[in-house]
Chains A and B, each alone.
Chain A
Amino acid sequence: DAGVTQSPTHLIKTRGQQVTLRCSPISGHKSVSWYQQVLGQGPQFIFQYYEKEERGRGNFPDRFSARQFPNYSSELNVNALLLGDSALYLCASSILWVNTEAFFGQGTRLTVV
């Protein structure tokens, strides 16, 4: 079975641009979460979606938004990119939204120049 897949793997954007990152969860998993990991730190929670509804939002500005589609895949959008948005963006999927193991994709490495 395929694991969590993310695209693209690498991305370079200019300040002020917008970016869309994509995630396909493990088959049968209905929950998708997004995390940001800056160099030298642990991942920080951004969003969680379950059954196409937002279940949680971390401490990130409104420039960050996400959605989940009927097939449970998800997109993370970031508007008006700042240099500080450069990071590894990780997607995690789980069967349910509570009390279950989370599995992570390989990440999208975003560089803002």
Chain B
Amino acid sequence: GIQVEQSPPDLILQEGANSTLRCNFSDSVNNLQWFHQNPWGQLINLFYIPSGTKQNGRLSATTVATERYSLLYISSSQTTDSGVYFCAVPHSYGNEKLTFGTGTRLTIIP
């Protein structure tokens, strides 16, 4: 099955800072999702982004499918951005069983 790696594993930033989270995957994918897991465990959808770039407020994401990576940008961080960020891709091409990365734990300090 596909392998998904995320970096960095941990990130501690001051409020207002910008950050870039990376997701590398080992095989071709037809979709990719980014999630934010809040302290209560809820996975919140951030982006559904098989390729290209999308923006939603202070967050944006870029997926370069041919090079097998995706980036999540967070600008002007707020304390509410703290939590674990996961990327997830289908287990195999065309298969919607998601394989999750190991996550990036982001801590925003006031």
Q: Do A and B come from one complex?
A: yes
User: Chain A residues in contact with chain B, CB under 8 A?
Assistant: 31, 33, 35, 37, 41-45, 48, 56, 58, 88, 90, 92, 94, 96-107, 109
| Given A104-B35, A104-B43, also A45-B101 (CB < 8 A) | no
Q: Closest residue of chain A to B44, judged by CB?
A: A104
Return the contact of B97 from the options A42, A48, A103 (Cβ within 8 A).
A48
Decide: B31 and A99 in contact? CB cutoff 8 A: yes
Decide: B95 and A45 in contact? CB cutoff 8 A: no
22 CB contacts below 8 A, A to B, read A33-B96, A35-B98, A42-B86, A42-B88, A42-B100, A42-B101, A42-B103, A43-B100, A45-B99, A48-B97, A56-B91, A56-B95, A88-B41, A90-B43, A92-B98, A98-B94, A99-B94, A102-B88, A103-B45, A104-B42, A106-B42, A107-B42
Could you say which residues of chain B place their CB within 8 Å of the CB of A88?
41
Q: How many A-B residue pairs have CB under 8 A?
A: 64
B interface secondary structure, majority: loop
Could you say which residues of chain A place their CB within 8 Å of the CB of B102?
41-42
Decide: B41 and A102 in contact? CB cutoff 8 A: no
Known A-B contacts: A99-B31, A104-B42. Give 10 more (CB < 8 A).
Answer: A33-B96, A42-B102, A44-B100, A45-B91, A45-B97, A45-B98, A48-B96, A56-B91, A90-B41, A98-B96
| Given A101-B45, A104-B35, A107-B42, also A33-B103 (CB < 8 A) | no
Mask: chain B, 76-88; 1 = CB below 8 Å from A; 0 = not: 0000000000101
| Given A90-B43, A101-B48, also A56-B97 (CB < 8 A) | yes
Decide: B98 and A102 in contact? CB cutoff 8 A: yes
Could you say which residues of chain A place their CB within 8 Å of the CB of B30?
99
Could you say which residues of chain B place their CB within 8 Å of the CB of A35?
98
| Given A42-B103, A103-B45, A104-B35, also A98-B98 (CB < 8 A) | no
